[in-house]
Amino acid sequence: MLVDKIEFSLLNPELIRKMSVAKITKTELYDQEGYPIEGGLMDPRLGVVDPGVRCRTCGGSVGECQGHFGCLELTRPIIHVHYAKILFSILKMICKKCSRILIDEKELKKIKERKLAFKKIVKLAEKRCPYCKQEQGKLKFIKPYTFTEDNEILNPIKLRERFEKMSDEDLEILGFKKMRPEWLILTLLPIPPVTVRPSITLETGERSEDDLTHKLVDIVRINERLKENIDLGAPDFIIEDLWELLQYHVSTYFDNEISGVPPARHRSGRILKTLSQRLKTKEGRFRGNLAGKRVNFSARTVITPDPMIDVDEVGIPQLIAKELTIPVRVNEKNIEEMKKFVLNGPENWPGANYIIRPDGRRKKITEQNKEDIVKEIAPGYIIERHLQDGEIALFNRQPSLHRMSIMAHRVRVMPFKTFRLNLSVCPPYNADFDGDEMNLHIPQTEEAQVEAEELMAVRKHIRSPRFSGPIIGAIIDHITGLYLLTHGKKKFDREEFTQLIRAVDPEIEIPDKKTMTGKEIFSMFLPKDFSIEHKSKSCVGCKKCLKERCEHDAYVVIKDGKMLCGTIDKAAVGDEEGKIIDKMEKLYGPEFVKKFLFKITRLAVDVLTKVGFSISISDQDLPQEAVSEIKNVLEKVRKDVDELIKLYEKGELKVLVGRTPKESLEHSIKITLRNGLNEIGSILEKSIKENSTIMMARSGAKGSMVNITQTAAVIGQETIMGERMERGYYERTFPHFKKGDISLEAKGFVSRGFRNGLTPFEFFFDAINSRESLMDKSLKTRHSGYMERRLVGALQDLKVEYDGTVRDSANRIIQFIPGEDGLDPSKVERVGVDVRGIAKELFR
């Protein structure tokens, strides 16, 4: 059957009756023997949930029969809570006497031509009927389902009467096509099939019913009671009460979270999950079961690093490899191999878990039946065999913020229970190993495997489309290692360099030399025609660059595969900025870079293990002169600030344009402090001897000079929202300061470093500052996460067509050239030259 179109409309009572297979009249579910009662809510005609039973309507068993609707005749009409709002809009628009739209003929005609929106028509309704001249009453809608006219309750029967009188022409103007407004008020309640609300049999043999069934029992019970009372001629107030109760039950059946209505509860006090609750929210039917589902052939576990596996590999525990399978069709060529898998069985890797016979029947391989299955196998059978080395797997870490969050890796089956990954792919996933978990998916068909390999392979994501530079590169220890190797003129004797080189490459020819410098060792792994020149991370930015003769060895020159000078650090091989990686990707392609990266990271790790590397608290020790120098700077800053405050109090401070005197003062203080801290920073850089901590900051491996200043010397000004501390008591931050004290100490200036320790008050200021940045960070990630979700929703089905236009799902053109320039930022080199700016200068 071809679905040509779908129409959304109101459910017609006639249609409900037509699709209904059983009328529900009885409150009980089962008789004494435990069989479902006919006419009860578990009526056997409504479908099957128990295995072995056949459906009374269609004869299907569990799985075959989807279930059938029943219906319940409501004794009195009931308002559908979710329709109450629309109901009221229509009510306001029609005459209480003749039920025509309260707009005169002329105006109505105009509306009909222009097809005005429903919301706009509501506003045009007049107070007096233009047809029968009836003055309209004052209508009120009391949430959630009560309507009054001139303070008198309008019950659903009266409402229905009004709607029934409306003409089809009038309705069409309001947008009702093939629909009647009286259908908004329920007279016939469809009873969902039992498959929608299956009962569970507990171990004790007791039956536990679904929340919906519970709710429906309530409805049926009250409905019957209402009927009996009406038949008996009970007093009006009793009938009204029961009617109201029925309204409550039907309303909570649809939605159990209506404001102003107490939610219906289970006997245990648990709030019932009714229809709306099944659909709503992240775990609901739409977002939880339709937009996103649980998948097979996936795994999740903790990740741990492994520098010995290749960049685009992923280590998979054998336990998991025995669970994840790939279907392989048996043919003449592979039958012997397949038989071996089956003989290994499900317990021994590499084995197989299932066979699928040519007729589509699936059979589990067990230790007992594997010998029989081997005899049975013939071409045409499909074997679901265990995951093996070299297969393609999709590896993912949440939150999946960009396309590098899911990449295709090559499988490597390993012992133990964690996923292993190379450290170089940590930046794209934003992964570390403090307990992070990652997901793995196995593409099942050859087509899917090839597609994953072509589009998602790690090497195709070395260059990030975000900034057109490498996002995969050497990190932390790799950078430290290469820095130690290449900085200065370190020499390695024959035994040392042979070991280093052989650890990386078992085949490369070892030069016939007595000693080798680190730079020479590094050059071994460079291509013979590779040349580059760039400034290192450790470049201090001298006024005049001495290039090759740089006294900090911070100018890298590589000529024809020979490293002549400079130091390899983050600016050369790191992620986000590695210039060598960047250039190599362009010259030799991603596969080469992947191999190169693996080699130099192996080399770096070996250098580190050989040379040794550790940090110490004494790295933060300052020479006596430096301590007194810093003290002097702080003294001077304090004096300057006091001077500024004195000027301010006298009213002599120069007021800056666009600022109040107070703001001018704060600004000047901020500048004074900044200059002071910069001065301290340079004192530090000058006086601390080269040590491990400094080295890590210089090479870009981890930490920065600011971090070192804060630990060794002073933390500086603590701020809240960019201003000096304001909080706490009236006109002061702590009670031991004078009111109105705006000196440095009273406003959160910390003149000590972490190494020497803070005073309690300084510590408190620091805690305030830390808390602010912590809150900022968590709020920011949540905010931007939601923005991204909305953006993805809006852009998800945009696609670049073969004619080069960007189109949406309805084939409408969004852009004529993708991104205005038609360039793929992940295949473009980042260049820092402002050609346009230079041209402007030249041809002015």
Partner 1 sequence: MKKINIERHELVPKHIILSEKERQELLEKYGITLKQLPKILVSDPIIQILNGKVGDVVKIIRKSPTAGEITHYRVVIKG
Binding site for partner 1 (CB under 8 A): 803, 805, 807, 810-817, 819-823
Q: How far is the CB of 812 from partner 1 (least distance, A)?
A: 5
CA distance 625 to 386: 68
CA distance 332 to 259: 68
Q: How far is the CB of 116 from partner 1 (least distance, A)?
A: 14
Q: How far is the CB of 39 from partner 1 (least distance, A)?
A: 54
Residue 463 neighbours by CB under 8 Å, 6+ apart:
469, 470, 471, 582, 585, 590, 826, 827
Cα-trace Rg, the chain: 38
Q: How far is the CB of 843 from partner 1 (least distance, A)?
A: 15
Closest CB to partner 1 among residues 202, 810:
810
Q: How far is the CB of 173 from partner 1 (least distance, A)?
A: 21
Q: How far is the CB of 823 from partner 1 (least distance, A)?
A: 7
Closest CB to partner 1 among residues 19, 823:
823
User: Which amino acid appears at position 151 of this protein?
Assistant: N
Q: How far is the CB of 472 from partner 1 (least distance, A)?
A: 25
Closest CB to partner 1 among residues 509, 803:
803
Q: Is 6 exposed, middle or buried (0-12, 13-18, 19+ CB in 10 A)?
A: exposed
Token pair belonging to 442: 């196995």
Closest CB to partner 1 among residues 706, 817:
817
Closest CB to partner 1 among residues 114, 790:
114
Q: How far is the CB of 820 from partner 1 (least distance, A)?
A: 5
CA distance 241 to 230: 12
Show the 3-state SS of 659-692: CCHHHHHHHHHHHHHHHHHHHHHHHHHHHCCCCH
Q: How far is the CB of 828 from partner 1 (least distance, A)?
A: 10
CA distance 43 to 56: 9
Specify whether the CB–CB gap between 70 and 43 falls below 8 A.
yes
Closest CB to partner 1 among residues 433, 816:
816
Q: How far is the CB of 816 from partner 1 (least distance, A)?
A: 6
Q: How far is the CB of 815 from partner 1 (least distance, A)?
A: 8
Q: How far is the CB of 817 from partner 1 (least distance, A)?
A: 6
CA distance 27 to 217: 6
Q: What angle do CA 607, 609, 615 make, to 5 degrees?
A: 100
Specify whether the CB–CB gap between 95 and 102 falls below 8 A.
yes
CA distance 312 to 598: 10
Closest CB to partner 1 among residues 187, 468:
468
CA 546 from centroid of its chain's CA atoms:
48
- Quick one: which H or E segment has residue 110? helix 105-114
User: Which amino acid appears at position 516 of this protein?
Assistant: M
Closest CB to partner 1 among residues 450, 839:
839
Closest CB to partner 1 among residues 2, 810:
810
Q: How far is the CB of 534 from partner 1 (least distance, A)?
A: 25
- Quick one: which H or E segment has residue 371? helix 370-376
Closest CB to partner 1 among residues 117, 779:
117
List beta partners, residue 408: 394, 457
Closest CB to partner 1 among residues 346, 469:
469
CA distance 285 to 115: 35
Please state whether the peptide bond connecting residue 623 to the residue before it is cis, i.e. omega within 30 degrees of 0: no
CA distance 437 to 386: 23
User: Which amino acid appears at position 360 of this protein?
Assistant: G
Q: How far is the CB of 802 from partner 1 (least distance, A)?
A: 11
E strands of 109-249, at which residues? 139-142, 146-149, 152-154, 185-191, 200-201, 207-208
Closest CB to partner 1 among residues 32, 811:
811
Closest CB to partner 1 among residues 638, 807:
807
Torsion of CA 370, 375, 376, 382, to 10 degrees: 60
Specify whether the CB–CB gap between 330 and 381 falls below 8 A.
yes
Q: How far is the CB of 404 from partner 1 (least distance, A)?
A: 22
Closest CB to partner 1 among residues 791, 839:
839
Show the 3-state SS of 60-104: CCECCECCCCEEEEEEEEEECHHHHHHHHHHHHHECCCCCCECCC
Token pair belonging to 617: 């608290």
Token pair belonging to 523: 């050059």
301 φ, ψ (degrees, to nearest 5)? -160, 180
Q: What angle do CA 594, 595, 598 make, to 5 degrees?
A: 85
Q: How far is the CB of 401 from partner 1 (least distance, A)?
A: 24
Closest CB to partner 1 among residues 329, 807:
807
E strands of 292-347, at which residues? 298-305, 313-317, 325-329
User: Which amino acid appears at position 550 of this protein?
Assistant: C
CA distance 766 to 103: 68
CA 255 from centroid of its chain's CA atoms:
29
Q: How far is the CB of 88 from partner 1 (least distance, A)?
A: 30
Please state whether the peptide bond connecting residue 399 to the residue before it is cis, i.e. omega within 30 degrees of 0: yes
Closest CB to partner 1 among residues 512, 820:
820
Q: How far is the CB of 837 from partner 1 (least distance, A)?
A: 11
Specify whether the CB–CB gap between 725 and 733 falls below 8 A.
yes
Specify whether the CB–CB gap between 641 and 669 falls below 8 A.
yes
Closest CB to partner 1 among residues 123, 812:
812
Closest CB to partner 1 among residues 529, 820:
820
